[in-house]
Amino acid sequence: MVVVRHQDHKSGFFIKPSQLYLVGISHGVPPVDSSYIELFRASVAQRTDLQRHPYETDSSITSFERVVMKTDKQLQEDVLAELDWESSVNAAHIGVEVDQGVVTLSGHVDTYAEKWGAERAAKRVKGTRAVAIELDVKLRSTEKRTDSDIALSAVNAMQWLSTIPKDTVHVTVENGMITLSGNVIWNYQRDAAMAAVRNLSGVRGVINQILVKPRVNVTAIKSDIEAALKRHAILDAQQIAVSLDGDTITLSGKAPNWTEKNLAINAAWNSPGVRYVVDKIVIS
């Protein structure tokens, strides 16, 4: 969407929408569509929060500025391009729909690893607020295996992991769906178990039911997480609220993109003793 922002040279005031980012003054930009101008004028008539930018002067501002926001169509095109660029994904059979920043992936893929790769690719695109996965895993005939074969491969994969003690994680396979269970001390061990079986041939999906077993006093975790967030200069820790209930961490607040949202979530999971992380962070 193109939003036109009006500058009154006499009063020196302009509209400052709270959710828009100024990308530059429109010197020499192409003409603005009249429909957007009329839409802007209608919005101006309803706004009273007129403010003057401290760095702008009457001589430095033209009559109109354009702030470019990504539309659903633009986001759809960007996600399709990202899927094409992702080497682990065959985008030919994946459809993309976007509604108010929510990306829905549909169609079918050949492996579960490809399904996981498509989800990651969609989340990387700027402007993606959420991703809905409606992808079916249709294994090629050469990739189909029995549940016993898959279970044996999964157990062997676990045994080769140096990050997880032996016999800590249990594996169950039904109709190509792997279920992982057991207890570990750290969340990275839980993630490692997931990564070990995700790319196995014949797998249709993975359900991770591994629990992170606490071994320390969780009452000290809240301050540790907040300190970890503040150490990262790219993340405004003041925008993220951390609450603790037993061994469950709840994160709330706002983050400008998926990268900083994931940074906050990872900081919570990296605290020893955390068993659950409830994500209530909104991408603004």
Identify the pLDDT of residue 233: 59
Identify the pLDDT of residue 151: 94
Q: What is the spatial distance between Cα 55 and Cα 65, in angstroms, rounded to a whole number?
A: 15
**What token pair was written down for 64?**
């109109």
Q: Which amino acid is at 225?
A: I
pLDDT tier at 219 (50, 70, 90 boundaries)?
A: low
Of 106 and 41, the one with more pLDDT: 106
Per residue in 132-185, pLDDT tens?
999 999 988 888 899 999 999 999 999 898 988 888 899 999 999 999 999 888
Identify the pLDDT of residue 125: 93
Mean pLDDT computed over 39-56: 47
Identify the pLDDT of residue 193: 94
Q: Which fold has domain 147-212?
A: Histidine-containing Protein; Chain: A; (3.30.1340)
Identify the pLDDT of residue 271: 76
Q: Which fold has domain 218-283?
A: Histidine-containing Protein; Chain: A; (3.30.1340)
What Å distances lie between residue 128 and 22, 120, 169, CA to CA? 20, 11, 34
- Express as a percent the part of the chain with pLDDT over 70: 70
Identify the pLDDT of residue 42: 52
Mean pLDDT computed over 204-222: 76
Identify the pLDDT of residue 186: 87
The reply to whether 72-137 and 147-212 are identical in fold is: yes
User: 221-231 and 258-269 helices cross at what angle (nearest 10)?
Assistant: 140
Report domain extents, the chain: 2-68, 72-137, 147-212, 218-283
Q: What is the spatial distance between Cα 225 and Cα 242, in angstroms, rounded to a whole number?
A: 8
pLDDT tier at 208 (50, 70, 90 boundaries)?
A: very high
pLDDT tier at 40 (50, 70, 90 boundaries)?
A: very low
CB 99, CB 109: distance < 8 Å: no
Q: DSSP secondary structure string, 220-236?
A: GHHHHHHHHHHH-TTS-
Return the minimum-mean-pLDDT range out of 128-137, 179-188, 235-244, 273-282. 235-244
CB 74, CB 53: distance < 8 Å: no
Q: What is the spatial distance between Cα 222 and Cα 241, in angstroms, rounded to a whole number?
A: 10
Mean pLDDT computed over 12-40: 40
- State the average pLDDT for the chain: 76
Per residue in 251-261, pLDDT tens?
888 888 887 78
Mean pLDDT computed over 55-77: 59
CB 174, CB 160: distance < 8 Å: no
Long-range CB pairs of 35-41, under 8 A, 24+ apart, other chains included: 36/2, 36/3, 36/4, 37/4, 37/64, 39/4, 40/3, 40/4, 40/5, 40/6, 41/6
Q: Which fold has domain 72-137?
A: Histidine-containing Protein; Chain: A; (3.30.1340)
CB 165, CB 136: distance < 8 Å: no
